[in-house]
Each structure stands twice: as C-alpha cells, then as structure tokens.
Homo-oligomer: A and B are copies of this chain.
Amino acid sequence: MKREETSLLGYAMLGILQQQPLSGYDLRKIFAATPLMAFSDSPGAIYPALERLEHGGLILGRIQKGPGLRQRRVFRLTAAGSGQLRRWLEKPISRDDIVRGADALLLRFSFMDAGLGRAHSARFLEALETELAAYLPTLREFLKSAQEGMPISGRLALESGVQGYESLLRWARRGQAVYRRELRGDAL
C-alpha cells in the first residue's frame, strides 16, 4: 500500500481552507474548539503541516497586515490544492476505509457538499450503506465464532464494534432521506 502524499490532518486543513482562507492560528482555534474528529491544536502539528502543504503547492500563504495587527499568514487553496482535495473526496469507499475507523470517511463527507455538491454527497451515503451492509454480516460471523471461550467483557467489546457499525448504517440511511427531502425542495 502506497503512502498518501497528504496526511489526514492535511486533508482536514485543505477542507477547511477551501471554505474560507485562514491562518494557522485560526486553524488551531478551530481544532481546539471542535470536540469531534479530535485533531491536535498544537503548533508542532499545524505549522509543519501547513509548510508541507505549501511546499507541495497545495496552499498559498500571504501575509496579511492590517493596521496594528500582528503579522498573520493567511492560507488559501491553490488550483492544485483544490484538485487534490477533490480527488480525495471522490475516492470510492473501500472495505479498508470502513475497517480502519470511519473517522476519515466522516471527515471526507463533511466537506463533500461544499466540494462536490449535494448530489454527490447523497451518492456517497448510498455507497456507504452498500458497503456497510456487505461488511456487517462478515463482522457478525466473526463475532459469533470468536466469542466462544471469551470473557464477557471481551464479547461485549466486540458487540460494541458491531453496534457502532449498525448505528453508522442507520445514520447513512437517514442521511439519504435528508438529501432526498432537500433535493426535492430545491427542485420546487
């Protein structure tokens, strides 16, 4: 498996910067204030990540000087950055995406309306539903075969994982309903 040329934190920053140009300090505040998708708000993570993105030509920082304002570098996406973000958003959902934590998928989805449009978001949820519905039976089978001779807490922990995916599946279905309602509203 090849290494991604951009880390998840990098994509998170690309997604946010696409919606509005911001400084590193602004990003820190956002990450510090957002309870879900816990990224680090430490400067040791953010500034080097910004530097990497800039060196890769994905973002461009310009110094903003207002009168009596501390020197800030405000970053905005370049065309290459938009392309990189779009390619990431467009990637098909793989089994591996689901097994290795759904967090990255949710992050992608959160930027999808702005990046690719609602119709694509709705299709993403369809694909997620399909993939989850195909994965869950194999998970349940594993659970059934593994739980013999396992202590209660071990069995319960596995069940928690299954139920987490079931909850995600329900969410994906509800989300599709939301988009159907919304897109119908748009058409009127």
Residues of A near any B CB (own CB < 8 A):
34-38, 99-101, 103, 106-107, 109-114, 118, 121, 138-139, 142, 146, 151-154, 156-161, 163-164, 166-168, 170-171, 175, 178-179, 182
Contacts and interface: CB of A to CB of B under 8 A. Distances in A.
Given A152-B182, A164-B167, A157 B38 contact: no
11 contacts: A38-B99, A101-B101, A110-B156, A110-B157, A113-B153, A114-B153, A121-B153, A160-B171, A163-B167, A163-B170, A167-B167
A152 B113 contact: yes
Given A109-B156, A113-B153, A182-B152, A168 B164 contact: yes
Given A106-B160, A121-B153, 4 more contacts: A101-B101, A114-B153, A152-B179, A156-B171
Number of copies: 2
A110 B154 contact: yes
A111 B111 CA distance: 37
A184 B161 CA distance: 26
Contacts of A139: 35-36
Given A35-B99, A35-B142, A167-B167, A175 B156 contact: yes
Contact of A156 (B138, B158, B178): B178
B152 A118 contact: yes
9 smallest CB-CB distances across A and B, nearest first, come from: A113-B151, A110-B157, A167-B167, A36-B161, A113-B153, A121-B153, A112-B153, A110-B154, A106-B157
Contacts of A100: 38
A168 B161 contact: no
Nearest to A37: B161
A154 to B, nearest CB: 5
